[in-house]
């Protein structure tokens, strides 16, 4: 059982920063921030979970069965992540590429302490065993002072490419050969940028990345010495009551400081036949995934190829929804749609096999999902993109970007789009 106590806060931005700084004392932290984006499905402005009572950490083997059992046993709030490589639990696939980060493939925990911000109200939702700490914790947060930058951080971070430009072109050509042969229609091909022997201040790095992008599905995640700093603009899957919603992104255009030019860039993206074709292919894939769980005839495309504007880029987003039976287990809903179509390709299984052959790194948490499951079985998960991953013990920093390869793809333009997507992460890391 949980106790909820509410407070009013005057300065929400400063309170959020202080709250996240305060959370750093705990072994496990999940912070979700909508950055003020108001969509039809949002449930809060920010949500924090810390201080695990119980947890589940596992590799891909029988991961969804283990998570389902854990969710049913806990019957409480769970926060955590699903790595992309859980594809190996869903299908007969493997992940043999280089892994510099070494994150567990699945991790969820039942927090003793949940703190939720909605407008200028903050709710402390604590398990009864710690509910006597609410007043003291609220006071601690209010008194938290953001410390000076850690002097141990690496200056002049040297970012390397896992594959160089010519090799990227060669691998895209190999994907195009598969497409022209009819093996697949589309594949999301990703590449890694990384830095070794590097120390970063994860808290400050997240704040800088979030300030640049201010996305609707931002995440700060800490699991002991491992961190995810995510400026994700994309929702993977949400369940609210008997409704499930997916919002795949396919289609990216740069922003301009000139208002008229920016408006034209947005307009051109909306009409771009290649980008629309990529988006519609993934919408069809998502419709198929949702139909595995949905009541017959309830899968609907609510929005098709609508262009949304973010601080760094314009994005083409579609919304697909469906109705499910009330008794349907939330973990089964996730299993039947995972990994998300926007990060795989079509047909999905063939695309994932070919992606594994052509990519030079293990995706791990990148292109996985972070989120929560409620005691009622509702949930909301993002897509882990536009993100920095950090293993503090190994002093290894990584960010990855990708794009959809279709028959119309021009390798040079795909490479330019990757650099555009990587811009915010590179800026943050190079500005030490």
Catalytic positions, please?
Answer: 234, 250
Rounded to 5°, angle at Cα 42 from 40 and 43: 130
Q: What does the CA dihedral 375, 333, 421, 256 come to, rounded to 10 degrees?
A: -80
Cβ-based neighbour number of residue 350 at 10 Å: 16
Q: In degrees rounded to 5, what are phi and psi of residue 213? A: -100, -35
- In angstroms, the CA 250 to CA 237 distance is 16
CB-based contacts of 198, cutoff 8 Å, min separation 6: 154, 157, 158, 395, 396, 397
- In angstroms, the CA 110 to CA 281 distance is 37
CA distances to 15, 29, 92, 279, 415 from 391, rounded to whole Å, are 27, 15, 29, 33, 27
């Amino acid at each position: 059982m949980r106790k909820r106590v509410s407070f009013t806060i005057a300065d929400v931005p400063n309170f959020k920063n202080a709250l996240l700084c305060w959370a750093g004392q705990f072994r496990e932290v999940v912070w979700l921030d909508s950055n003020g984006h108001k969509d039809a499905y949002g449930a809060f402005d920010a949500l924090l979970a810390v201080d695990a009572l119980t947890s589940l950490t596992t590799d891909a083997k029988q991961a969804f069965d283990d998570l389902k059992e854990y969710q049913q046993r806990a019957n409480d709030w769970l926060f955590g992540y699903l790595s992309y490589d859980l594809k190996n639990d869903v299908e007969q696939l493997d992940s043999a590429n280089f892994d510099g980060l070494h994150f567990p493939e699945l991790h969820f925990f039942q927090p003793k302490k949940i703190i939720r911000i909605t407008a200028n109200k903050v709710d402390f939702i604590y398990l009864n065993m710690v509910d006597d700490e609410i007043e003291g914790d609220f006071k601690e947060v209010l008194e938290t002072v953001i410390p000076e930058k850690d002097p141990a951080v690496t200056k002049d971070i040297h970012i390397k490419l896992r594959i160089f430009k010519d090799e990227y072109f060669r691998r895209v050509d190999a994907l195009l050969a598969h497409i022209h042969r009819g093996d697949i229609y589309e594949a999301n091909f990703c590449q890694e940028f990384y830095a070794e022997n590097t120390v970063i201040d994860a808290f400050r790095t997240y704040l800088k990345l979030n300030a640049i992008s201010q996305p609707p599905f931002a995440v700060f995640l800490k699991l002991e010495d491992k961190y995810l700093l995510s400026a994700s603009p994309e929702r993977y899957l949400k369940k609210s009551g008997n409704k499930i919603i997916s919002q795949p992104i396919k289609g990216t255009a740069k922003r301009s400081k000139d208002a008229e030019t920016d408006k034209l860039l947005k307009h051109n993206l909306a009409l771009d036949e290649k980008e629309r074709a990529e988006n519609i292919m993934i919408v069809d894939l998502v419709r198929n995934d949702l139909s595995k769980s949905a009541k017959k005839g309830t899968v609907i495309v609510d929005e098709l190829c609508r262009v949304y504007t973010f601080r760094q880029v314009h994005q083409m987003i579609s919304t697909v929804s469906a109705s499910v039976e009330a008794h349907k287990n939330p973990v089964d809903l996730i299993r039947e749609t995972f990994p998300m179509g926007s990060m795989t390709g079509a047909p999905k299984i063939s695309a994932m096999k070919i992606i594994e052959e052509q990519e030079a790194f293990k995706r791990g948490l990148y292109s996985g999902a972070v989120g929560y499951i409620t005691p009622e079985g509702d949930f909301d998960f993002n897509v882990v993109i536009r993100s920095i991953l950090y293993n503090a013990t190994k002093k290894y920093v990584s960010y990855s970007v990708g794009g959809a390869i279709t028959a119309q793809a021009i390798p040079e333009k795909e490479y330019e789009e990757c650099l555009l997507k990587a811009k915010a992460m590179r800026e943050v890391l190079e500005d030490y």
